[in-house]
């Protein structure tokens, strides 16, 4: 190595080769001293820095996660759904067994999933194991809904085996699976997670044997709050089995809602249930509606209602109550201080007992008292005006006495209290609608959400026009003005008033005009206006190709 000259000031300094080498070593050592020693320590002999390796692993995991989430988004987009890391709603998607398997493989990319709904997919019945075998990847799920999926006993057994993977499950809905009756519930015995708060088994064709199994399920669910086994008419067929089910309710003393609608209850079944009510001190909602076999035996329930001091809602509609039943109920009502909702509708005898029923209610706290199809007399209708100022919902549908006397009811309203008004098939007159319009102008119905004036063809064009021109319905969400099936009438005279009324109705989501006819131009104009507001229009179109898109939802009264 040759020597080097370094100019310093005006002279020169000769350095030896040894000096040059030592300077180079010093510079390298100084540079290395400025770096953390840990950067050069590796976990193996490859010499790859530790932080660089960790960063690469993290980036790889993140890239894999992003790719997995991308697969989830593509899968949901194909089904017309939006991706949500916490909620998976695939109801009414025509899922097949293949789709279910693909969904199962995607659960690993949804670690934050809390709600899963695959209801109303009838093609996945018999193949639920493809999904349940991957539930360990969705351990945080709190709500699982599998309604109307044609599930069978094997599906339920597979679900039972997998429930241990979802220890936080609070809501399980298996309703509308007819294959679960006849002992399939055996697959869930001892498998339901203790935190479960809601169990729904509506219309599953449960029978007497299942009533016994239900009792076994309840014994391990001390935290259950909602039990709904409605629409299982054979559930109470055998008295002893139903008595066993009723006595097991005390194991779930925290139940707040019990629904036994249309369960084939008879006097004997009601006697068994009534004797168990003392074990349900937290009960707030009790639904025994649509059990016609209770006629004449309501005393088996009313004798025990005093135990339900927190009961807020009692549903006894369509139970064919006799006059004696209603008298027994009237005597028991004072023992229900928390009651806010009582449904005795679709019982003709109520009309003659209403004047005695109303004084027994805590009127100032009542929020809902439907009286549709109750054969109200003029005296009963007049007495109702005392209760109306406090109600949030008024349903007098199919009560002909309302026609021509609606002002008596409307004049008792308090401002911005009523949220639901149903007056279907009440033979309303034009004067009734004009009075309703005047009430709207005064702002008394500013909180109204639902207005049902269907099946009132006796109202003239002036009445409909006055209602729509009145305003004061800014909160309205649903309106039904339909005519009876197989009837029709022109709406050309008042349709312009309806069109002008739509812009001030920002919350409107549904408008039903079944049976009304108009010119194609008016119909097109209305549909265009509603489409901009995303409003569901139910309007049969006999001369158009859209008939299938607008189906009537109206039904005849069960009492008429």
State pLDDT tens for residues 294-326. 999 999 999 999 999 999 999 999 999 999 999
Evaluate whether residue 215 is within a structural domain.
no
Q: Evaluate whether residue 474 is within a structural domain.
A: yes
pLDDT of 332 higher than 50: yes
- Structure confidence at residue 48 (pLDDT): 46
Report whether 405 contacts 380 (CB < 8 A).
Answer: no
Which runs of E-coded beta strand occur in 271-388?
285-287, 313-315, 341-343
Residue pair 314/286 in contact (Cβ under 8 Å)? The answer is yes
Classify residue 23: in a domain, yes or no. Answer: no
Q: Is residue 523 part of a domain?
A: yes
pLDDT score of 4 more than 70: no
Domain harbouring 484, CATH code: 3.80.10.10
- How much of the chain exceeds pLDDT 70, in percent? 85
pLDDT for 46 beyond 60: no
Reported as a pLDDT band with limits 50, 70 and 90, residue 149 is very high
Which pairing describes strands 510-512 and 478-480: parallel, antiparallel, or unpaired?
Answer: parallel
User: Is 5 among the domain residues?
Assistant: no
Q: pLDDT tens digits, residue range 443-471?
A: 999 999 999 999 999 999 999 999 999 99
Note every long-range contact of 354-361, with CB atoms under 8 Å and residues 24 or more positions apart, other chains counting. Answer: 354/380, 354/383, 354/384, 355/379, 355/380, 355/383, 356/326, 356/327, 356/330, 357/326, 357/329, 357/330, 357/333, 358/383, 358/384, 358/386, 358/387, 360/330, 360/331, 360/333, 360/334, 361/333, 361/387
Instruction: Give the burial string for 448-469 (b: 16+ CB within 10 Å, else e).
Output: bbbbbbbbbbebbbebbbbbbb
Name the DSSP letter for residue 147. Answer: T
Which pLDDT score is estimated for 2? 43
CA distance 531 to 527: 6
b/e code 479-506 from CB counts within 10 Å (16+ = b) = bbbbbbeeeeeebeebbebbeebbeebe
The mean predicted confidence, pLDDT, of the chain is 88
* Tens-digit pLDDT profile for residues 212-270: 999 999 988 999 999 999 999 999 999 999 999 999 999 999 999 999 999 999 999 99
For residue 71, is it within any domain?
no
Mean pLDDT across 176-195: 94
The pLDDT, as a whole number, for residue 310 is: 97
Is residue 49 predicted with pLDDT exceeding 60?
A: no
Cβ–Cβ < 8 Å for 479, 451: yes
Dig out the tokens for 317 from the structure: 């509609």
User: In degrees rounded to 5, what are phi and psi of residue 516?
Assistant: -80, 145
Identify the DSSP state of 180: G
Q: What is the pLDDT of residue 298?
A: 96
Q: What is the pTM of this model?
A: 0.84
Q: Which of 7-16, 81-90, 547-556: highest mean pLDDT?
A: 81-90
Residues 6+ apart with CB under 8 A from 524: none
Among 491, 480, 488, CA closest to 538: 480
Q: Is 269 inside a domain boundary?
A: no
Continuous H helices in 371-416: 378-384, 406-410
**Cβ pair 311, 282 in contact under 8 A:** no
Any bridge partners for residue 49, and if so which?
A: none
Residue 23's pLDDT band (cuts 50, 70, 90)? low
E-assigned strand segments in 55-211: 87-89, 115-117, 143-145, 171-173, 198-200
379-416: pLDDT as tens digits = 999 999 999 999 999 999 999 999 999 999 999 999 99
Provide the pLDDT confidence category of residue 86 given band limits of 50, 70 and 90: very high
pLDDT tens digit string along 424-437? 999 999 999 999 99
Q: Which strands, in side-by-side order, build the sheet including 171-173?
A: 87-89, 115-117, 143-145, 171-173, 198-200, 226-228, 257-259, 285-287, 313-315, 341-343
pLDDT in tens, 172-185: 999 999 999 999 99
Does residue 521 form part of some domain?
A: yes
Could you tell me the pLDDT band of residue 32, with boundaries at 50, 70 and 90?
A: very low
Token representation of residue 559: 């009492």
Using the predicted structure, report yes or no on whether residue 555 has a pLDDT greater than 60.
no
Report residue 384 as tokens: 């109702």
pLDDT mean over 99-125 = 96
pLDDT value for 218: 92
Number of domains within the chain: 1
Alpha carbons 210 and 181: distance in angstroms, whole number = 7
Give the domain extent around 413: 392-541
């Amino acid at each position: 190595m040759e020597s080097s000259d370094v100019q310093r000031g005006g002279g020169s300094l000769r350095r030896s080769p040894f000096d040059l080498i030592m300077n180079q070593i010093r510079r390298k050592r100084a540079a290395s001293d400025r770096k953390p020693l840990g950067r050069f320590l590796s976990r193996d002999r490859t010499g790859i820095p530790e932080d660089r390796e960790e960063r690469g692993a993290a980036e790889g995991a993140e890239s894999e996660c992003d790719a997995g989430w991308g697969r989830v988004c593509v899968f949901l987009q194909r089904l017309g759904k939006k991706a949500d890391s916490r909620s998976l709603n695939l109801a009414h998607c025509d899922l097949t067994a293949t789709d279910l398997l693909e969904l199962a493989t995607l659960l690993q990319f949804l670690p934050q999933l809390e709600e899963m709904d695959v209801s109303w997919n009838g093609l996945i019945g018999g193949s639920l194991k493809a999904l349940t075998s991957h539930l360990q990847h969705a351990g945080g799920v709190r709500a699982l809904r599998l309604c109307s999926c044609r599930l069978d006993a094997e599906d339920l057994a597979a679900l039972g085996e997998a429930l241990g993977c979802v220890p936080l499950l609070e809501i399980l809905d298996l309703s509308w699976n007819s294959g679960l009756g006849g002992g399939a519930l055996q697959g869930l015995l001892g498998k339901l997670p203790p935190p479960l708060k809601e169990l729904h088994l509506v219309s599953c064709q449960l029978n007497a044997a299942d009533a016994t199994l239900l009792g076994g399920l309840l014994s391990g669910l001390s935290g259950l709050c909602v039990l709904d086994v409605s629409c299982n008419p054979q559930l109470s067929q055998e008295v002893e089995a139903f008595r066993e089910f009723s006595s097991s309710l005390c194991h779930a003393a925290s139940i707040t809602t019990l629904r036994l609608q249309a369960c084939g209850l008879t006097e004997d079944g009601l006697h068994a249930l009534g004797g168990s009510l003392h074990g349900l001190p937290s009960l707030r909602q009790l639904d025994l509606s649509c059990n016609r076999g209770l006629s004449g035996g309501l005393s088996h329930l009313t004798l025990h209602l005093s135990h339900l001091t927190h009961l807020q809602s009692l549903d006894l509609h369509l139970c064919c109550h006799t006059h004696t039943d209603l008298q027994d109920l009237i005597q028991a009502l004072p023992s229900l201080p928390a009651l806010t909702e009582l449904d005795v509708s679709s019982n003709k005898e109520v009309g003659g007992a209403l004047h005695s029923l109303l004084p027994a209610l805590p009127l100032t706290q009542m929020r809902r008292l439907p009286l549709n199809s109750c054969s109200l007399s003029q005296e009963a209708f007049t007495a109702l005006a005392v209760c109306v100022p406090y109600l949030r919902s008024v349903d007098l549908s199919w009560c002909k006495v309302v026609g021509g006397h609606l002002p008596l009811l409307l004049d008792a309203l308090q401002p911005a209290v009523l949220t639901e008004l149903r007056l279907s098939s009440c033979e309303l007159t034009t004067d009734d609608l004009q009075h309703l319009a005047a009430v709207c102008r005064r702002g008394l119905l500013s909180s109204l959400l639902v207005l049902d004036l269907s099946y009132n063809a006796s109202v003239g064009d002036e009445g409909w026009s006055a209602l729509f021109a009145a305003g004061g319905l800014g909160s309205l969400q649903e309106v039904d003005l339909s005519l009876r099936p197989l009837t029709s009438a022109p709406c050309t005279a008042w349709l312009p008033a309806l069109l002008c009324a739509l812009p001030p109705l920002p919350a409107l989501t549904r408008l039903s005009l079944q049976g009304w006819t108009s010119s194609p131009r008016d119909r097109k104009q209305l549909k265009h206006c509603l489409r901009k507001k995303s409003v569901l229009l139910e309007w049969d179109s006999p001369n158009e190709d859209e008939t299938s898109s607008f189906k009537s939802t109206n039904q005849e009264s069960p009492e008429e």
